[in-house]
Amino acid sequence: MTKTQTISMTAAGPEASSGTAQFLAPLVLGLQALAVNGKQAHWNVRGSNFIAIHELLDQVVANAQGSADLAAERIVALGLPIDARVATVAEKNGATAVPAGFTQWQDIVRAIVADMDVVIADTQAAIDGLDEVDLTSQDVAIAIKAGLEKDRWFLAAHLAE
């Protein structure tokens, strides 16, 4: 049996630490799922916009990984562990819109945008909840949301008419 010891690394205290983890942990898991699903989409996209979407998905994946790292490191900096193992990510994010095989670029974009919308909603919930808990962590969530919305815009613009 593993014993977990929580040592607050900041003056925020244990209440702020656990409150922060409550809001940021779902972001870590959602962003990790977005990175995996984005790479799946990257490998299987097909059609006339292949190269543009293929390369854009690599950027979405990199940004999701970086944002997951930012949120996870904030939790750990406050003295709490984060569980972002594959099984934990899959448990929280079981349903995905991303298909398993070759898919036309329009459907891939719609699927990734749908996955992003779920993470953006979790991010907004974190922003709202962290307002009373830890403003520094709220700033982390705000930065993550800004990046997600930018990436969503870049993808969704391909579908605009």
| Structural domain includes residue 113 | yes
DSSP conformational letter for 2: P
| Structural domain includes residue 7 | no
First to last CA, the chain: 57
| Structural domain includes residue 9 | no
- 28-41: per-residue pLDDT in tens? 999 999 999 999 99
- 79-130: per-residue pLDDT in tens? 999 999 998 898 887 667 888 899 999 999 999 999 999 999 999 999 999 9
- DSSP H or E run through 155: helix 135-156
Helix 135-156 vs helix 14-44: angle between axes, to the nearest 10 degrees?
20
The CATH number of whichever domain residue 137 belongs to comes to 1.20.1260.10
| Structural domain includes residue 72 | yes
Residue 75: its pLDDT value, please? Answer: 94
| Structural domain includes residue 3 | no
Please give the structure tokens belonging to residue 33.
């799922």
| Alpha-helical runs (H) found in 78-134 | 86-92, 105-130
Please give the structure tokens belonging to residue 68.
């997951």
Q: Could you give the C-alpha distances from 29 to 10, 66, 153, 157, in angstroms and in order?
A: 24, 13, 22, 26
Domain that holds residue 104: 14-156
> Considering its fold, how many domains does the chain have in total?
1
| Structural domain includes residue 8 | no
pTM for this predicted structure? 0.88
| Structural domain includes residue 55 | yes
3-state helix, strand, coil in the chain (%, to 5): 70, 0, 25
